[in-house]
Structure 1
């Protein structure tokens, strides 16, 4: 017989309301006291009020916002004991329904001892779905072995404005690349192939965030409205979510922003109409932190706000007070009790899927060389833009390694990162990695400036000049950081809410300008003042305007925050020629050139009269010496009806490596889609595959372009329709002369252009 506790209708009203509430911050509910976990009065009161807990967020969370450090946090090896203390208290003093333990995993488990991965934007540069899946599986196994059930995972946001501070949490500006890597992440973390599959003891349930359109906020401001139409929403912002739903993702997080004025956490068309009715998905929708309380600006009181969210399709709150008013909302007729039952049933179904009823599924330790995976991902995130004939660096050279990010580990890690252990056995900065290769006596260092603002000390540039004087090459490491300190002030949701002295990236750190600050460019000018060749390295979590910098350096590398092993990854690129990433987003020609994404629609306007917009660096940019790509074949066709039934067009890209070493690289296929009555996008990424090519060899990389690649995404799900496409694989923003025509035909074997 099934456990009666798994059916909401059998439970008291208070218990059902308790199951859809996730109000507590876990580090305040469980304290580590005298070497053991202790539940607090905060937790006791909550259990007494509701007869249990639906979910508990952040028992293990460690970062400046939670104020959890190595000296006061739960030791990694004792995590399961902390969770057990909560479950034991609920079983003894509550309804006995197990608690879901929820933790953040934006790029690794955000807990003491959690493995920190390169940020999503770095994985986007690597364009490697298989590696992304392996990394996700490693994080999931680590989290589940410690007792975690649910991971909150970034990746749905599509980067449409580089001013947005959370750019680093996006895989790309391109929805196809974001969808590819989101789907890989869900597969890796959940270990399932469909929504019905149980999640075993080596995996965790994923709540993917954020739904939807948060990357299209007005002016790049976090949480601002997304003024996009239904087609733009479907083609750009819903495609990654559809991929996650198709992979059986356990949950979605409704975003803070509104879409055309309707807040996502109150958007029934999105959370019920699209997710459940159109896509047939039936997991848990969780609100972002305090997002339901924020509905007070569009509702008269908390009960009304709660009813808005519940009716729309939100099943689980996060830190909200409003959802505690659901009983009043039901009594006032604002929402039917059956709607509450539906939400509670979904929460209970997730607990069943995780095996929490009956004999609970224990975490299963998995042997995996996680450090090697992280190192590989960091190396694949490095993008070579120009080599200028000064790379690779040669043994015996004397180097000046300067700039504000040259020797700053925090600047490599990204936002929402737990404290690193000290000493850190795997970490490296650019300075330390080059010193290990060349010898400390051959690596001179001077930071030169801060990341933002004017120079603190004019003599700092003199130190840069002195370091560069007599050096064979000067490596200047610039960019940004998502560093947060325990002295920062934070908003309720963990975003910086006060002065972040030198922070340039992260939630709540949106910029009006994406130009590199003049203080950093002054460091470059000082470095090259004596004629020393200069290699620029931009280590950042957002696209930057690099046009001026490119005139000041001989070679240039771009590296989205690569994680703790990033220093060695950059050193390998400089010395061994291992840079193999591609830009995952377009870097604008100048500050203020917005929008900038490579797949913006074609315009009749000429652009800006004061800026050459063609000096931008579009998505996919990479300098790969000795490597050439050619798309072979002739015009191909597929019927729309066949495409809808699983048919596909098969193409191949010929990759030739004329170099002396093996290369690994992402091989892209771009297309321009011509649909009657719809203005084309300049180009779209249709597909990308990672390939390895031996020296002096040529490899055929096969592509199967099916409904996802050739169909219309106007509604947020792929649909077949007769169209024509121009397809190519080289960097041009427009179809080159050798572009391959691809036709999706109607029942008469024609396209609209042939009627």
Structure 2
């Protein structure tokens, strides 16, 4: 639609029309016979939500609908009864795939591969757009150091730089550009949850967050700041309160920080029911006051509550100064719908859905991403990879199941998911699978050369609302390990979960451990290829694994202590466990031998204007082509305030041919070495900087900062 016509349409809008565009609900209200398989329903009736036969046809967007046929039916019904005929926007949570399911984001973070994450996001966008969806509530870049929180599976782990960079890649993949333009066959990205949602008290979902400005600006706000450089068109406000102020009602966070400091110019949307929940927070005593607080804070679209449409006119009577903000929000909504071409073509093509969804290229990408998202944590005497001719047995609760997608799987189907058993069969490996040890015939067990077991947590044990106090694997899994160990068997474990688990009680009895998270539809094929050596594991941990549950929260970049952990009684440690995590951030073994050599620095004294290069040579000494991750860390040993022991500065995933070496140079500036002080101000100081590559225990090279 031409801009003049769009402007004329805007001029026809009443206040109720505008507040309707700022309101979002689910789709069943527009259907005579709702198809529950294709809808996420609200639960409350249309009347309970404050809608009626007229204002329901003023709303601007719908969430949770997931097929072309139902989307078109809703759009057709809506446009038939809507006065202004402004098409609906359709939004969904395709966190790690729409129909083709990819690894959960925490698993993708194990790849340390920006381009892979971008490719996955593009594939998700293509399937979504072909189905008639326009906005994806993803990526989630909430920094989390506490695996008790169920939603760690949706994010990229414990490092703010890694989370921000991969979030940025995902936004670019969804939208198809780096400048915020939405290309054909792509969708609008919604960055979430702003802000600090990943640090709830005791790891309990929706709990309050309380932290210093140094911690907030130095770590928890940083992933959003980085990801916002990719220009997502939506940002979702978080459920939580921060330092006593609910984010949904915070003018400071949603406007002063997000818009003015971080430069966001898109649309703010509340999370599900969060505006009404301001009453539960105790900052509003009515729906009207809740709507007033959210609107005044800068929320542009209210999800799954109806305070704007119900009370917006009354709020404006009391605060007429909000009209300019409301007009701007509505104009942005109309412009986005126009950019997506909805005024000319509001309906999706059912033929496109049939030809695009579950394309072979998406399935192949799902397998590739699954391979790169797997982390080898233990491999005694190089027991992996195994020989397919050996007598192998596969045992455990996940050996035969297709329930391997993890939470938030959108329209992913278990029937299209490859089980571990089937994955080995697809590689012509004559393995037999059993769920329990009791099912295994004595003769088979006697002659088994290796036993592969599956351990971890079921897919419905992580995700939103699934916080856990106990991070240990189940007792029956421990008993399986003890029994096999007592028989003298070599045990290869395949671990799957949506969070790091506490494995100290079993790790000594395992000869090998391959951690797979939830890898999507191609999980069984990918794991079989890795176990058999057809492919080579190259993932690294994006979150530290604690030894025991009580050790969390835990992170690799902890602040220095005046009495750092050591064997002394009077040091910063627990007296009843070993120092440090069981497996730290960035840890990951490989089948093949690599070396890092010829580390050099372009300048040993750096100032404000310099671009610094650290050069390394990485060599693959094996006879196999493989991938290798380089993580560059730095240490600022002397500063005015306490600094982390290590920090991630950059990372890269390299493809290395067999018996081949490759040179690589990291580039950075002095600003990349800055930190947030106690007032949240970025600071750069004179003094030494030490650099580490992969190994956090030994500095490879150092320089000196000298400001002019």
TM-score (norm 2): 0.89
Residue aligning to 1:517: 474
Inter-CA distance 693–32: structure 2 relative to 1 (3 Å threshold): farther
Q: Which of these residues, 510, 531, 534, is aligned with residue 488 of structure 2?
A: 531
Equivalent pair of 1:589/1:613 in contact (CA under 8 Å): no
Aligned to 2:603: 636
Change in Cα spacing, 1:273 to 1:550, as seen in structure 2 (3 Å) is: same
For the residue of structure 2 that corresponds to 1:214, the secondary structure is coil
Match of 1:704 among 667, 672, 678: 667
Residues 1:593 and 2:540 are matched in the alignment: no
Per-residue deviation, 1:322:
2.7
Take 2:523 and 2:683, find their aligned partners in 1: how far apart are those partners? 41
- Out of 389, 408, 427, the residue aligned to residue 416 of structure 1 is 408
CA offsets, 1:118-174, max 9 Å, x none?
100110011111011111111111111222111111321112101111111111211
SS at match of 2:158: coil
Q: Distance in 1 between matches of 2:172 and 2:240?
A: 27
- Per-residue CA deviations over 1:578-597 (Å, capped at 9, x if unaligned) read 11101111001222112311
Shift of 1:305: 0.7
Among candidates 431, 449, 463, match of residue 506 of structure 1: 463
Q: 1:252 aligns with which of 224, 235, 258?
A: 235
**Which residue of 1 is the match for residue 177 of structure 2?**
192
Write the distance in 1 (CA, Å) between the matches of 2:80 and 2:682.
46
Q: Report how far residue 236 of structure 1 moved.
A: 1.8
* Structure-to-structure mapping, 1:240-279, within 5 angstroms: 240-279=223-262
Tell me, in whole angstroms, the C-alpha distance in 1 between the residues paired with 2:394 and 2:321.
63
Counterpart for residue 334 of structure 2: 348
Q: Distance in 2 between matches of 1:361 and 1:680?
A: 54
Equivalent residue for 2:701? 740
Instruction: Give the corresponding residue for 2:434.
Output: 446
Aligned match of 1:236: 219
Aligned counterparts of 1:705 and 1:27: Cα–Cα separation in 2: 51
| CA distance in structure 2 between the aligned counterparts of 1:257 and 1:355, rounded to whole angstroms | 35
Q: Please show how residues 106-145 of structure 1 align to structure 2 within 5 Å.
A: 106-109=95-98, 114-145=99-130
Q: 1:506 to 1:586 in 2, by over 3 A?
A: same
Find the counterpart in structure 2 of residue 56 from structure 1.
62
* Counterpart for residue 616 of structure 2: 653
Q: Flag the 1:369–1:746 CA change in 2: closer, same or farther, 3 A.
A: same
Q: Which of 579, 582, 587 in structure 1 is aligned with 2:540?
A: 582
Q: Which residue of structure 2 lines up, in the alignment, with residue 19 of structure 1?
A: 21
Counterpart in the other structure of 2:277: 294
1:47 deviation in Å?
Answer: 6.6
Aligned mates of 2:442, 2:326 — CA distance in 1: 67
The answer (yes or no) to whether the contact 1:158–1:215 under 8 Å persists in 2 is yes
> Does 2:397 align with 1:434?
no
Q: Return the offset for 1:419.
A: 5.4
Shift in Å, 1:5:
4.8
1:163 aligns with 2:174: no
**How big is each residue's C-alpha offset from its partner over 1:430-455, in whole Å with a ceiling of 9 and x where there is no partner?**
2222233354xx4233323xxxxxxx
Deviation, structure 1 residue 378: 0.1
Q: Which of 438, 450, 471 matches 2:448? A: 471
Would the aligned equivalents of 1:48 and 1:94 in 2 still touch at CA under 8 Å? no
Distance in 2, matches of 1:716 and 1:130, equals 32
Question: Which residue of the partner structure matches residue 565 of structure 1?
Answer: 522
Cα distance, 1:284 vs. partner? Answer: 0.5
Give the match's secondary structure for 2:478. helix
Q: Do structure 1's residue 603 and structure 2's residue 603 form an aligned pair?
A: no
Kindly state the Cα deviation for residue 182 of structure 1 after the two structures are TM-superposed: 0.5
CA distance in 2, matches of 1:281, 1:99: 24
- Seen in structure 2, the aligned counterparts of structure 1 residues 638 and 32 have a Cα distance that, compared at 3 Å, is farther
Residues 370 and 526 in structure 2, CA contact (< 8 A), matched pair in contact too: yes
Matched position secondary structure for 1:344: helix
Task: Name which of structure 1's ranges 330-339 and 151-160 shifts more when overlaid on structure 2.
Answer: 330-339
The range that moved more, 2-11 or 660-669, is 2-11
Q: 1:423 to 1:174 in 2, by over 3 A?
A: closer
Alignment partner of 1:331 out of 309, 317, 339: 317
1:694-740 per-residue CA deviation (whole Å, 9 max, x = no partner) reads 222221122112367323356889776656421111332x4x1x432
SS at match of 2:462: coil
Cα distance in 1 for residues equivalent to 2:581 and 2:187: 44
Alpha-carbon displacement from aligned partner over 1:255-283 (angstroms, at most 9, x marks no partner) = 11111111111121111011111122210
Where does residue 655 of structure 2 map in the other structure?
Answer: 692
Q: CA deviation at 1:674?
A: 4.5
What's the TM-score once normalised by structure 1's chain length?
0.84
Q: Is the 8 A contact 2:6 2:334 kept in 1?
A: no
Structure 1 counterpart SS, 2:635: strand
Task: Name the counterpart of 2:458.
Answer: 481
After superposition, the Cα gap between the structure-2 partners of 1:220 and 1:464, relative to the gap in structure 1 and judged at 3 Å, is: farther
Say which SS state the counterpart of residue 549 (structure 2) adopts. coil
Three-state SS of the structure 1 residue aligned to 2:580 is: helix
Aligned with 1:560: secondary structure? coil
Cα 1:34/1:170, change in 2 over 3 Å: closer
- Secondary structure of the 1:377 match is helix
Contact 2:599 2:700 in 1 (8 A): no
Shift in alpha-carbon separation, 1:403–1:119, aligned structure 2, 3 A: same
Conserved 8 A contact 2:145-2:555: yes
CA distance in 1, matches of 2:659, 2:230: 39
How far apart are residue 428 of structure 1 and its match?
A: 1.7
Q: Is the 2:71–2:132 Cα contact (8 Å) retained in structure 1?
A: no
Aligned residues: 679
Measure the CA separation in 1 of the matches of 2:615 and 2:88. Answer: 50
Kindly indicate whether the alpha-carbon contact (under 8 Å) linking 1:724 and 1:741 is maintained by their aligned counterparts in 2. yes
| C-alpha displacement of 1:294 | 0.6
2:569 maps to none
Aligned-partner SS, 2:560: coil
Q: In 2, are the aligned partners of 1:632 and 1:654 still within 8 Å (CA)?
A: yes
- Unaligned stretches of 5+ residues in structure 2: 564-571
Separation in structure 2 between the aligned mates of residue 338 and residue 21 of structure 1, nearest angstrom = 18
Cα distance in 2, alignment partners of residues 368 and 720 from structure 1 = 50
Cα separation, 2, equivalents of 1:277 and 1:163: 34
The root-mean-square deviation of aligned C-alpha atoms, in Å, is 3.0
The answer to whether the Cα contact below 8 Å between 1:290 and 1:319 also exists between their aligned partners in 2 is yes
- The question of whether the paired residues in 1 share the 8 Å contact of 2:270 and 2:302 is answered with yes
Tell me how far 1:521 sits from its aligned partner. Answer: 1.1
Work out the CA distance in 1 between the residues paired with 2:188 and 2:647.
31
Aligned to 2:100, the other structure's residue is in SS state coil
Structure 1 residue runs without a partner (length 5+): 61-73, 449-459, 484-503, 748-755
Q: Does the Cα contact within 8 Å between 2:132 and 2:347 map onto a contact in 1?
A: no
Cα distance in 1, alignment partners of residues 7 and 59 from structure 2: 13
CA distance change for structure 1 residues 482 and 34 in 2, over 3 Å: closer, same or farther?
closer
Asked whether the 8 Å contact 1:468–1:530 carries over to 2, the reply is: no
Matches within 5 A, 1:362-441: 369-389=361-381, 390-410=383-403, 412-418=404-410, 420-421=412-413, 423-424=415-416, 427-439=417-429
